[in-house]
A and B are shown apart, each in its own frame.
Chain A
Amino acid sequence: MSDQQTPAEHELASLIVSSLNLEHISAEQFAPEQPLFGAETGLDSIDALELALAVSKRYGFQLRSDNADNKRIFSSLRALAEHIQTHRAN
């Protein structure tokens, strides 16, 4: 596992930065395996909601609350990007 973003991860990081209106961080600065939410990043469930809405708009599929893997899916940029690549409709 590298610290380099794949193109899919970079695309998702850009979506996070634009949809959450993050001003002090660029897409390149997202470490792929850092936790996405929690005390370390300052991103909370409100940001998660914004992100979930942006993901369904951009990739054409909806993340489901009853997915047992959600904890893992939201655990890092890498995990979320992988999940999106498997399920995306467009």
Chain B
Amino acid sequence: MSAHWHQRREAGGRFAIWLIRAAGLHAGRAFARAWLYPITLYFFFRRTRERRDSREFLDTALGRPAHAWDILRHIHSYAATILDRIYLLHDTTLDRFDVRVHGLEQIENEIAHGRGVLLLGAHFGSFEALRALSLRRPEVKLRVVMDLKQTRALNELLHALNPEVANNVIDAGVDPGALALSLHEAAQQGALIGLLADRARAGEATATVDFFGRAAQFPVAAYQIASMLDLPIVLGFGIYQGGNRYDLHFETLAASVKIARSERSGELQEWAQRFAARLEHYTRQSPYNWFNFYDFWHRPAQRAQPRSEPVAAAAD
């Protein structure tokens, strides 16, 4: 099912990205934003699947049946943050935005230790808005983990807009050894390692947690990485509030994560649950920032420790 949303998202993405880049940079944000209304209507009428997924999510998050207006607002909010990606990545100051930062002292506190920070986000609001933090603290590298094979269109845009940010991306699509070494080195450089912790890639281990009162699968890799590399975990959400306003929220989830390998799956589940609970908290406050336009609750579980038997089988 995860291959499914990848295909859907990127198909529409390439055209939209070309359009917003052409219109966005050359004609300005106000002009480009006028196009968000027809684009929103187009997606509302043509993308029935996403419309249904949006409605199901909003029913849950709003606690009442979602109206067409709610869904339009949801799609518009998504399109607006995609457009703003251009400016957030391209601009050298963020003067055109009204960015309010909450919990700055929490992340600065963890950065000050100098051992690197695992910055966990989600497909919720705008992760790019967190770049405001990098502009304040240019000496701290932000290295975002992305699967470049799955997000080729986005990556092309990134290279065109901001080669430095693009070059600091840690590609999750490479072979396991190379990815492991990149993470290790990023931690040694004291970097902020950005990771979206709400979607598992195909084959990635997940844990079942409660999210909005229903069972959902959340990936667990982030907590294993934090434990192994001794990284604090800070949550970072860039919530779009309409107009030009973004509220950044930073919150320390764990100053230190110690997970014994032997009791791994239970503890991993607990950490995933903590993350999901905080994500739910912010999502309830800003439901139109939820950008997982697919059936989030019905993904198949991936076992947290898939190794034992397959290894034995391969060695036979």
Residues of A within 8 A of B (CB): 20-25, 29-31, 34-53, 62-65, 70-71, 73-74
Do A73 and B177 form a contact, CB below 8 Å, given A21-B262, A41-B314, A43-B311?
yes
Residue of B nearest to A30 (CB): B315
Can you sample 17 A-B contacts with CB below 8 Å?
A: A22-B307, A24-B312, A25-B311, A37-B175, A40-B310, A41-B307, A41-B310, A42-B308, A42-B311, A44-B176, A46-B205, A48-B181, A49-B183, A49-B229, A63-B177, A64-B181, A70-B181
Contact B176–A53 (Cβ < 8 Å): no
**6 further A-B pairs in the complex, CB-CB below 8 A; given A36-B177, A53-B184:** A25-B312, A37-B176, A49-B224, A65-B182, A65-B184, A73-B177
B160 interface hit (Cβ, 8 Å): no
Total inter-chain residue pairs, C-beta < 8 Å: 109
- Distance A84 CA – B310 CA, assembled complex (angstroms): 26
Residues in B neighbouring A50, C-beta threshold 8 A: 228, 261
Q: B283 → chain A, closest Cβ, in Å? A: 27
- Distance A39 CA – B184 CA, assembled complex (angstroms): 23
B185 interface hit (Cβ, 8 Å): yes
B213 interface hit (Cβ, 8 Å): no
Residue of B nearest to A53 (CB): B228
Residues in A neighbouring B63, C-beta threshold 8 A: none
- Distance A43 CA – B203 CA, assembled complex (angstroms): 11
- Distance A47 CA – B205 CA, assembled complex (angstroms): 12
Q: Which of B176, B262, B314, B315 contacts A45 (CB 8 A)?
A: B176
Q: Restricting to B227-245, which residues have a CB under 8 Å from any CB of A?
A: 228-229
Do A34 and B315 form a contact, CB below 8 Å, given A24-B308, A65-B178?
yes
B180 interface hit (Cβ, 8 Å): yes
Contact B181–A39 (Cβ < 8 Å): no
Contact A38–B176 (Cβ < 8 Å): yes
Residues in B neighbouring A51, C-beta threshold 8 A: 180
Contact A48–B177 (Cβ < 8 Å): yes
Residues in A neighbouring B308, C-beta threshold 8 A: 22-25, 42
Contact B178–A70 (Cβ < 8 Å): yes
What are the 7 closest A-B residue pairs judged by CB atoms, nearest first? A74-B177, A42-B310, A45-B176, A65-B181, A49-B180, A48-B180, A42-B307
Contact A20–B180 (Cβ < 8 Å): no
Residues in A neighbouring B139, C-beta threshold 8 A: none
Do A42 and B306 form a contact, CB below 8 Å, given A21-B262, A29-B315?
yes
Residues in B neighbouring A64, C-beta threshold 8 A: 181, 185
Residues in B neighbouring A39, C-beta threshold 8 A: 203, 310
